Structure 1
Amino acid sequence: MLKKRLRIPGSLGAVLGAELDLPDTHTPRAYALFSHCFTCSRNLKSFHVICEELARQGIAVLRFDFTGIGDSEGRFSQTNFATDVDDIVAVAEYMAANYAPVKLLIGHSMGGTAMLHAAARIPSCTAAVTLAAPADPGHVARHFIGKRPEVSKTGKAMITVGGNHFEIGEKFFQDLAYAEDGSTLSAFQKPLLICQSRDDELIDFTHAERIYRHAGKPTSIFSLEHADHLLKVREDASYLAHIITAWSARYL
């Protein structure tokens, strides 16, 4: 397996850090794009495991950091769900121009929700996979709704996620305009695999059910029991990679 570090223009003009995992013995049979969760980076261990296993199975995978996250440039306070969607589209366009059009979209948590909204703008996409994704694009903003009065008063506020601090502004709360029931996902009309654990401590299984209800068909739900939200157990991430490889084979 080969790795390439890339710098890719993002939707807001910032340069995004990215990494491409490639098969080391042959030309990839397909290219995939992986988007990470809210405030995570592409370097979460479970993401490495999944993408490296897919590369060993012949699927090249591009992971990138959203604007203002990891080693990507830009200010996090200028981002929200809509800019994450735009970043996904920008990275897909870069891949089409410099490598090959991406066929498979994979997204974890909010990255999965954003990926579903970006898919209609990525013509090469033939299938998608969500990992522990909320049905509601405003899920995170609703979680921090208590910060809105401070933002209204001062123009900014600090939130803490996983022990790290991030500045948000009013743009962050624009995500509240999305419907909570997942109905905004009805624009996604491609084959979809929804991966969700009933033991996820952050995203309830009902989110998977709502995505299934509104997304196009064929859509399948794979329930990975006893897995945590970040897929910290290596065996869980590796198992998911094999499931993704087997499921996506007919669409790639």
Structure 2
Amino acid sequence: MLLVRTALGERRLAVTARPAATGGAGVAGDGDGPGLVWLGGFKSDQTSGKAVALDAWAGRRGRACLRFDYSGHGASEGRFEDGTIGLWLDDALAAIRAASAGPQILVGSSMGAWIALLAARALAEAGEAERIAGLVLIAPAVDFTEALMWERFDPEIRAEIERTGRWIRPSPYANEGYPVTRALIEEGRRHLLLGGVVRAHGPVHILQGMRDADVPWEHAMRLVEHLAADPVSITLVKDGDHRLSREEDIARLLAAVANLT
């Protein structure tokens, strides 16, 4: 467990850091070539099929790979309900800085793609742009708390969130659904990106399913339009869903990562 102490508080995060084969310090990023950082999605964790496949790919090539669980996710401390985009971004930056070294390819899935872009911006603003070797974004749910949640919620749902502070959203991935809190929505507005030019500070490859019911492919194309200052390529998978976790989807993911290394 990684103990994180920041202005947002102290918490313990579950971290798995695979060192590069040539690394001497035992942390991700010691070897030649960029390391890999997995940034999972909303309510996901570092044991997902794509995260494990990425780590195995890195291991076969002697590459560094960092995986971790956000606060309130997986094996990390905290309650999911207490999480916000800012807190999970803080987790990501703390893990990257504490458990990796040198340039990294940020691989973000769904919410993790938003976190990846926010982390890239934060690193660049802190004078650490050299840490960013590129981004691979899977079904990028950029600004999802506003564009894909709040703006689409019925008035009754909005009213419940404003009155009670939460609403349990049904989910095909969780039998009990999951809470959407007022704090998540309101704090998320501090991190919206799609109102202007979005900088990744490196090359970007987007993988997007065209049968994605959670993040429509048009949303990914909107992100491409805002990434005007960085090289961007996008792969649209005609029969792909939100998870893009089939064998052929994972092969596309690994090929996209390989193209940036």
Query: Who is 2:74 aligned against?
Result: 70
Unaligned runs of 5+ in 1: 1-5
2:158 equivalent to 1:148:
yes
Secondary structure of 1:13's aligned partner = strand
Secondary structure of 2:90's aligned partner = helix
2:226 to 214, 236, 240: 214
Q: What TM-score does the superposition give when structure 2 sets the normalisation length?
A: 0.79
Q: What TM-score does the superposition give when structure 1 sets the normalisation length?
A: 0.82
Cα displacement (A) at 1:113: 1.2
User: Conserved in 1, the CA contact under 8 Å of 2:132 and 2:201?
Assistant: no
User: Conserved in 2, the CA contact under 8 Å of 1:137 and 1:175?
Assistant: no
Q: Indicate the percent of aligned positions where both proteins have the same amino acid.
A: 22
Unaligned runs of 5+ in 2: 24-30
**Counterparts of 1:63 and 1:176 in 2: how far apart (Å)?**
23
The superposition leaves residues 17-72 of structure 1 with CA deviations (integer Å, 9 ceiling, x where unpaired) of 1222345x544333221111111111112221123213323431111111101111
The alpha-carbon distance between structure 1 residues 175 and 152, as it changes in their structure 2 partners (threshold 3 A), is same
The alpha-carbon distance between structure 1 residues 102 and 189, as it changes in their structure 2 partners (threshold 3 A), is closer
The alpha-carbon distance between structure 1 residues 172 and 235, as it changes in their structure 2 partners (threshold 3 A), is same
Give structure 1 regions of 4+ aligned residues with deviation exceeding 6 angstroms: 178-181
The alpha-carbon distance between structure 1 residues 22 and 236, as it changes in their structure 2 partners (threshold 3 A), is farther
Q: Which moved more, 1:148-157 or 1:211-220?
A: 148-157
2:240 to 227, 242, 247: 227
The alpha-carbon distance between structure 1 residues 187 and 156, as it changes in their structure 2 partners (threshold 3 A), is same
| Alignment size in residue pairs | 239
The alpha-carbon distance between structure 1 residues 111 and 225, as it changes in their structure 2 partners (threshold 3 A), is same
User: Conserved in 2, the CA contact under 8 Å of 1:106 and 1:130?
Assistant: yes
The alpha-carbon distance between structure 1 residues 178 and 211, as it changes in their structure 2 partners (threshold 3 A), is farther
**Counterparts of 1:61 and 1:113 in 2: how far apart (Å)?**
20
User: Conserved in 1, the CA contact under 8 Å of 2:3 and 2:10?
Assistant: no
User: Conserved in 2, the CA contact under 8 Å of 1:21 and 1:52?
Assistant: no
Q: Which moved more, 1:120-129 or 1:196-205?
A: 196-205
Secondary structure of 1:111's aligned partner = helix
Query: Who is 2:16 aligned against?
Result: 19
Secondary structure of 1:83's aligned partner = helix
**Counterparts of 1:55 and 1:211 in 2: how far apart (Å)?**
32
**Counterparts of 1:181 and 1:31 in 2: how far apart (Å)?**
26
User: Conserved in 2, the CA contact under 8 Å of 1:89 and 1:118?
Assistant: yes
